[in-house]
A and B are shown apart, each in its own frame.
Chain A
Amino acid sequence: MSELLQVRDLSARVEEAEILKGINLTIGEGEVHVIMGPNGAGKSTLGYTIMGDPRYQKTGGQILFKGEDITGESTDKIAKKGLFLSFQNPLEVPGISLGNFIKSALEQRSGKRIRLWDFKKQLAATMEILQMDPAYAERDLNVGFSGGEKKKAEILQLLMLKPELAILDETDSGLDVDAVRTVSAGIEEYKKSVNGALLIITHNTGILKSLQVDKTHVLVDGRIVADGDASLVAEINRDGFEKYI
């Protein structure tokens, strides 16, 4: 399987605090990777840094996507190359509807206009997979959405934008059992329809049940301290992170 994302010896800081201290990670096409680790280990920072968030200053290392160096690239360019980040706390943006936002994001990516009819049909079908009320397409992006609806809206964007690699940052946090099931169904759909690769940041394994996990990484204090296969998830569920700290 060819390499999609390569993170080489990546270090990053926010203000004066060093958060990532030399991360190495390689994700192949269509692979499912899980990053686990205690709070404050730098899991979310890794996602933001890969996505080019200017608030995190890269102090060393390199990020390659499809063989291309994207270390210093701006977030919009990284997104257009096929990377996606599902936010732990999606932001509320008044004045643009969820539907229009997805449409303009698609148009930004392809550089051409999308036929409204085709778009609406596809959007409605995708919302159905996620059991979203179609009215949400007309509502302002994330404004007044419940936690669960916000997460569904993130997965809706994932399914519509069809990136090659999606980073899911705590997508399952704060969701009830039903919502976790729905979001999982959405992620399965993403795997099935575009064979997308996933980097799942979580400390909860509910969302992983229906997915075939290829690799698991344990992130502690800015370093990956253990790599394993799906069985590592079960082990951490049983024993916690104690032996890694």
Chain B
Amino acid sequence: MKEKTQVADIDRSMYDFRYEENDAYRVEEGLTPEIVDQISTEKKDPDWMREFRQESLKIYNRMEMPDWGPDISGLNMDNIVTYIRPNTDRMHAKWEEVPDDIKNTFERLGIPQAERQSLAGVGAQYDSELVYHNVKKEVAEQGVVYTDLESALHGEHAEMIRKHFMKLVPPTDHKFAALHGAVWSGGSFVYVPPGVSVEIPLQSYFRLNAPGAGQFEHTLILVDEGAYLHFIEGCSAPKYNVANLHAGCVELYVGKNATLRYSTIENWSKNMYNLNTKRAKVEEGGKVEWISGSFGSHVSYLYPMSVLAGRGARAEFSGVTFAGHGQNLDTGTKVVHNAPNTSSYVNTRSISKDGGISTFRSAVVIGKNAKGSKSAVSCQSLMVDDISRSDTIPAMDIRTKDADVGHEAKIGRISDETVFYLMSRGLSEEDARALIVSGFADNVGKELPLEYAVEMNNLIRLEMKGSIG
């Protein structure tokens, strides 16, 4: 399945373009109903989706920007239009225009030339598409549907999508959810039939690099009764996008006694505002496992939420956030216990370095009817130097006496003695520190498939480079 084709020579002239052409799409006042309608037309939206987009736009226009988290005043909302429309053109920007630091990262990660170009969202897609299609065939034999959301809207699962699309994350949730509802584009749809266990993890990273996807992509996953799926979104190689806003949406439906493991390693380029919304609903005896790594972006707001809706439903969340120079990453998770005997386990690590700010927010809600439920939240922070910052903001709302809830938080620094210990065996100071930080992030590393874990450690190593003053 990992076989790749080599694309020796790509006719790049087809990607040449003139910036002026983009001006045709530019509307100074921001997003209009006409533009949104045009998206519907181009995507051949069914009527209900056309209406949904327009309704979302109205909500978007009347909602306020969030004012409780990291500063996003640097995000120019008037440019939203240019983020949406020219994707197919601007995503094909020249490889030469990709910033040097990102190119160097590809170099260091050892990603081959052809693949680098597709990872950057700037070139031939042939490799990724091929791999994707192979995977698709393999799981299709099990009755699994794995496709892009646009085509699923017209296929035999159209009704299923209508029933679930933005029901967990309604456009009224917040301004960027509304924006997403209006302009969403690209993303994945997965349906796993009852009792089917998908042995290989599905990796959307191959899909996300499809032209035009990646800014406002929508992921909709339904795992039916007793089924199992591991879905991996994103990739540890940095994604380069000309536009600097990402407002994706992920909705996960986990059926009775089903298990869904959802892994993401996000490494957006460092100019990105990542305002992503992810939510899972878990039925009786089901389980959702979030594995989440946040490395890139300038500002992130990311709090995957689990709604435990059936008796005995479970949620596990393992997260790592690494905030380096110029980054303000506000991440965490929320769990709503809405049925008896539900349980949640949250284990996060945040690392801040070189002036980076890392904030962990957690919210645990235990409803009146969630008797016999358990929740344990543990968050640990590591500050690599004296100029970085780490905050922890836990919230709990417990409505029943019959619940067992625990929270622990630890903040620490890299111990000089441990660095000395590792160096006394011949490791350089840089390697020793990187090893300690990788070890700290092991709650996520050990949950990832090997090649992803290796890439995550490479990323940590890269981020730690030059950290010794």
List residues of chain A with CB under 8 Å of any chain B CB. Answer: 48, 51, 53-55, 74-76, 78-80, 84-85, 87, 90-91, 93-96, 101, 104-105, 108-109, 140, 157, 161
Chain A residues near B429: list those with CB within 8 A. Answer: 74, 76
CB-CB under 8 A for A95 and B423, given A55-B416, A76-B428, A108-B431: no
Do the beta carbons of A54 and B420 come within 8 Å of each other? yes
- The B interface, classified by DSSP as helix, strand, loop or mixed, is helix
**Minimal Cβ-Cβ distance residue in B for A142:** B421
Residue of A nearest to B435 (CB): A96
* A117–B418 alpha-carbon span in the complex (Å): 29
Q: A55–B420 contact, CB under 8 A? A: yes
Please list 24 pairs of residues, one from A and one from B, whose beta carbons are closer than 8 Å in the complex, sorted by A's number: A48-B420, A51-B420, A53-B420, A54-B416, A55-B416, A74-B423, A75-B424, A76-B427, A76-B432, A80-B426, A91-B415, A91-B417, A91-B418, A91-B421, A94-B440, A94-B442, A95-B435, A95-B438, A95-B440, A96-B438, A96-B439, A105-B425, A108-B428, A161-B425
A residues less than 8 Å from B422 (CB atoms): 93
User: Hey, which chain B residues are within 8 Å of A80, CB to CB?
Assistant: 426
Which residues does chain A contribute within 8 Å of B420, judged by CB atoms? Answer: 48, 51, 53-55, 75
| Alpha-carbon gap, A138 to B418, bound state (A) | 20
B453 to chain A, nearest CB (A): 10
Do B423 and A79 touch (CB < 8 A)?
A: yes
A105, B427: Cβ atoms closer than 8 Å = yes
A127 to B261, CA, bound (A): 38
Chain B interfacial residues counted at CB < 8 A: 24
- A161 and B439 CA atoms in complex are apart in Å by 22
On whether A79 and B426 interact (CB within 8 A), knowing A55-B416, A91-B418, A95-B439, the answer reads: yes
Residues in chain A near residue B423, CB distance under 8 A:
74-76, 79
The reply on B179 being an interface residue by CB < 8 A is no
Q: A95-B435, A96-B438 are in contact. List 18 more A-B contacts (CB 8 A).
A: A55-B416, A55-B420, A75-B423, A76-B426, A76-B428, A79-B425, A91-B415, A91-B417, A93-B421, A95-B438, A95-B440, A95-B441, A95-B442, A104-B427, A105-B426, A108-B425, A108-B431, A157-B425
A140 touches B439 (CB 8 A): yes
Cβ-closest 4 pairs across A and B: A95-B439, A95-B442, A75-B423, A105-B425
User: A90 vs B427: C-alpha distance in the bound complex, in angstroms?
Assistant: 16
Q: Which residues of B contact A53 (CB under 8 A)?
A: 420
How far apart sit A76 and B438, CA to CA, in the bound complex (Å)?
19
- Check B436 for interface membership: any CB of A closer than 8 A: yes
Question: B445 interface residue, CB < 8 Å from A?
Answer: yes
Closest to A87 in B: B421
Distance in angstroms from B407 CB to nearest chain A CB is 21
Residue of B nearest to A75 (CB): B423
B284-313 contact mask (Cβ, 8 Å, vs A): 1 or 0: 000000000000000000000000000000
Query: B432 — which chain A residues lie within 8 A by C-beta?
Result: 76
Closest A residue, CB atoms, query B428: A76
Assembled-state Cα–Cα distance A101/B421 (Å): 12
Q: Which residues of B contact A108 (CB under 8 A)?
A: 425-428, 431
Closest beta carbon of chain B to A137's beta carbon, Å: 16
**B417 and A51 contact, CB distance less than 8 A:** no
With CB as the reference atom, state the residue of chain B lying closest to A95: B439
Separation in Å of the A142 CB from the closest CB of chain B? 9
Chain B nearest CB from A7 CB (Å) reads 17
Query: Nearest-CB distance from B425 to chain A (Å)?
Result: 4
Establish whether residues A95 and B445, one from each chain, have CB atoms under 8 Å apart when the complex forms: yes
Residues of A with C-beta under 8 A to B435? 93, 95-96
CB-CB under 8 A from B438, the residues of chain A are 95-96
Q: Report the separation of the CA atoms of residues A87 and B442 in the bound assembly, to the nearest whole angstrom.
A: 25
**A169 CA to B356 CA in the complex, in Å?**
39
| B359 nearest CB across to chain A (Å) | 23
Within 8 A of A (CB), among B393-451: 415-418, 420-429, 431-432, 435-436, 438-442, 445
The answer to whether B421 touches A84, judged by C-beta atoms less than 8 angstroms apart, is: no
With a CB–CB cut-off of 8 A, which chain A residues contact B439? 93-96, 140
Complex formed: what's the CA distance from A94 to B415 in Å?
13
| Closest B residue by C-beta to A161 | B425
- Set of chain A residues within 8 Å of B415, measured between Cβ atoms: 91
Please name all residues of chain B whose beta carbon is closer than 8 Å to the beta carbon of A95 when the two chains form the complex.
435-436, 438-442, 445
Q: A179: shortest Cβ distance to chain B, in Å? A: 21
CB distance from B70 to the nearest CB of A (A): 29
Whether the Cβ atoms of A51 and B431 lie closer than 8 Å is: no
Chain B residues with CB below 8 A from A96, complex form: 435, 438-439
CA distance A74 to B421 in the complex (A): 12
B residues near A87, Cβ cutoff 8 Å: 421, 424
Q: For chain B residues 38-83, which have a beta carbon within 8 Å of chain A?
A: none
A residues in contact with B421, CB < 8 Å: 87, 90-91, 93
Tell me the nearest residue of chain B to A51, going by C-beta.
Answer: B424
Separation of A7 and B440 alpha carbons in the complex (Å): 38
Interface residues in B148-176 (C-beta closer than 8 Å to A): none
Taking the closest CB of chain B, its distance from the CB of A66, in whole angstroms, is 16
Most A CB contacts (10 A, CB to CB) among B417, B420, B428 go to B420
Please measure, in the bound complex, the distance between the C-alpha atom of A96 and the C-alpha atom of B425, giving whole angstroms.
14
Q: Report A84 CB to chain B, min CB distance, Å.
A: 7
A78, A104, A161: residue with the most chain B Cβ atoms closer than 10 Å: A104
Beta-carbon nearest neighbor of A105 in chain B: B425
B426 to A93, Cβ gap below 8 A? no
Q: Which of B168-223 contact A (CB under 8 A)?
A: none
Cα A108 to Cα B421 in complex, Å, equals: 15
Could you say which residues of chain B place their CB within 8 Å of the CB of A101?
A: 425
In the bound complex, what is the Cα–Cα distance between A97 and B283 (angstroms)? 38
Residues 304 to 325 of chain B near chain A (Cβ within 8 Å): none
Residues on A with beta carbons closer than 8 Å to the beta carbon of B441: 95
- Which residue on A lies nearest to B431, using beta carbons? A108
Distance of A54 Cα from B422 Cα, bound (Å): 13
Chain A residues within an 8 Å CB radius of B425: 79, 84, 101, 105, 108, 157, 161
Q: How far is the CA of A76 from the CA of B420 in the complex (A)?
A: 9
User: Closest approach, in angstroms, between the C-beta of B363 and any C-beta of chain A?
Assistant: 27
In the complex, A84 Cα to B422 Cα: how many Å? 11
Give Cα distance in the complex from A11 to B432, angstroms: 27
Q: Please, how many angstroms separate the alpha-carbon atoms of A140 and B429 in the complex?
A: 20
* Cα A95 to Cα B424 with chains together (Å): 18
Interface centre among A48, A53, A80, A87 (most CB of B within 10 A): A53
Q: Could you say which residues of chain B place their CB within 8 Å of the CB of A85?
A: 424
